Amino acid sequence: MLTNKQYELLTFIDEILESRGIAPSFEEMKKAINLKSKSGIHRLIIALEERGYLRRLPNRARALEILKLPNNKGTNRINFNSSNVVKGNFSSNQNEGKSNTDNHETTIPLYGKIAAGMPIEALNDPSVYLSIPANMVGNGEYFALTIEGESMIEEGILDGDNVIIRQTNHAENGSIIVALIDDKEATLKRIRKKGDTIALEPANASHETQIYGPDRVKVQGKLVGLIRSYN
């Protein structure tokens, strides 16, 4: 038995998946079912997962899979992203920059941990490389970082995830980026430029937005996907 809000959210997600092929954002879900906070959406999604109605796919933010619907509306609903579910595969630097065309994989450097909470140490030289599906990347340079913290959980980015980043020095308002603060600390946040200030926004109601002057923040890259490993 689902609560009214659980039912509303499940059917809304299903409708958006059917029409767009990609799950709605937490902000869209919040507005659709008239909740005040994204943390409420996160709790509903967890409840729906526990009841076997949906699951979050491990390799991309915002990727959801509908497993069944109530009231005979359908069962075993799988969205198109399910074929992209992968488990993280680590290799030594002897495979640096090489792609596996037979398995349609490529490798990118893993630069260690990055905070999805308070900033931690800046990026280091890679010691290992991460094997990922080749279709997760396109033109340009890419690297991976391991998430530490829970400030981006409402975007489906969890502690321990490996995020895939496209290297760039520019980002549009609202993008999820790797920000380098004061040339020594790196963090993953959503960027908002407001006049002469830069806001780095978390996706967790229990975390505060960080405000900096424009000379203190450098964009290092934009989020394009993630890999989640289950041990």
Q: How far is CA 55 from CA 10, 156, 165, 168, in A?
A: 11, 11, 24, 32
Q: What is the pLDDT of residues 161-196, one digit of tens each?
A: 889 999 999 989 999 999 999 988 889 999 999 888
* Domains delineated in the chain: 4-83 (1.10.10.10), 89-227 (2.10.109.10)
Long-range own/partner contacts, residues 3-11 (CB < 8 A, 24 or more apart): 5/33, 5/35, 5/44, 6/44, 6/47, 6/48, 6/51, 6/53, 7/70, 8/32, 8/33, 9/33, 9/41, 9/44, 9/45, 9/48, 10/48, 10/53, 10/54, 10/66, 10/69, 10/70, 11/69, 11/73
- 92: phi > 0 → left, psi -120 to 50 → alpha, else beta; which? beta
Catalytic residue among 189, 194, 206, 229: 189
Catalytic residue check, 175:
no
Report residue 192: phi and psi, to 5°. -135, 120
SS3 190: strand
Check residue 27 and give its pLDDT: 84
Q: What is the pLDDT of residues 21-47, one digit of tens each?
A: 778 888 889 999 998 888 888 888 888
Which residues of the chain fall short of a pLDDT of 50?
72, 74-103
Catalytic residue among 30, 131, 151, 222: 151
Question: What's the whole-model pTM score?
Answer: 0.58
Check residue 201 and give its pLDDT: 94
Catalytic residue check, 189:
yes
Check residue 136 and give its pLDDT: 84
